[in-house]
Amino acid sequence: MILALIVPYRDRESNLRKFIPYITSTLCGQNINFKIIIVEQSPGKLFNRGLLCNIGFKFYQDECNYVVFHDVDMICDTIDYSYNNKPTSLLRYRSKSGYVYNEYFGGITLFPKNDFIKINGFSNNYWGWGAEDADLYHRCIIHNIKTETRQGFCRDLELIKDKQKIKNNPYYSKNLERLLSFQTDNKIPNEGLNTIISNKLFHINNIQQNNNYTKITVKI
């Protein structure tokens, strides 16, 4: 089994310097065959985590059996990155606030490749912080794909509180409206992984090969 670990990223160089050696050591210690792909968004528009994850998957789906979408500000002490045949939230405990999650599908999420294709990936329409992970979870629900949670624990490198992220995102209310509309209509989405190329949603600025990871810089 080959894991593609995809990291949506922008403006967190200090986090990335800590993250790469830690995750590399962890995956090697678990005897996992892996590729690390950093998908960096160029300055301009608000951060779009879902679109960046879709881009990373689109370019490396033929080289892996499963993927983990992983935020760069999470250092994980007890997380099992091995393959699972169901979409799985790998994060249940966070050090920042003592959070315990029962139904959380963000931060660090594992997908078998075929399941991610089946749900059409992430939505590309959530800007700034918030709600793209709940949309992803609902895509699994409407496709009757069961999900699981592993008992993972992580330490946060980024100390910005969730409420502050909401305050700083002028699109957060629109994100919530979009999510509520999707959950209410309960229709299979017609945008996501299948539209990132046909709708010309991004342009590749640079691909940089490093010893332990590949960094793709894109403009969206």
At residue 86, the pLDDT reads: 96
Distance, in Å, from the CA atom of 102 to the CA atom of 148, rounded to the nearest integer, reads: 10
At residue 101, the pLDDT reads: 47
At 95-106, the pLDDT tens digits run: 555 444 445 677
pLDDT band at 114 (very low <50, low <70, confident <90, very high): very high
Distance, in Å, from the CA atom of 199 to the CA atom of 152, rounded to the nearest integer, reads: 37
Query: Cα 119–111–71 angle (5° rounding)?
Result: 110
Distance, in Å, from the CA atom of 39 to the CA atom of 3, rounded to the nearest integer, reads: 16
Please, are residues 20 and 85 in contact by the beta-carbon 8 Å criterion? Answer: no
Distance, in Å, from the CA atom of 145 to the CA atom of 7, rounded to the nearest integer, reads: 24
At 167-214, the pLDDT tens digits run: 566 778 888 899 999 999 999 989 999 999 989 999 999 999 998 999
Q: What is the 3-state secondary structure (H, E, C) of 147-189?
A: CEECCCEEEECCCCCHHHHHHHCCCHHHHHHHHHHHHHHCCCC
Q: What is the DSSP string of 8-41?
A: EESS-HHHHHHHHHHHHHHHHHTT-EEEEEEEEE
**Domain extents for the chain?**
2-219
Please, are residues 111 and 66 in contact by the beta-carbon 8 Å criterion? Answer: yes
Give me the residues paired with residue 40 across strands: 9, 217
The number of CA neighbours under 13 Å toward the Cβ of 28 is 7
Q: What is the mean pLDDT of the chain?
A: 88
The number of CA neighbours under 13 Å toward the Cβ of 42 is 11
At residue 103, the pLDDT reads: 54
Q: Phi and psi at residue 200, in whole multiples of 5°?
A: 55, 55
At 37-93, the pLDDT tens digits run: 999 999 988 999 999 999 999 999 999 999 999 999 888 778 899 999 999 998 765
**Which architecture characterizes domain 2-219 according to CATH?**
Alpha-Beta Complex (3.90)
CA distances from 16 to 85, 92, 99, 133, 196 (A): 29, 22, 23, 22, 26
Distance, in Å, from the CA atom of 188 to the CA atom of 80, rounded to the nearest integer, reads: 31
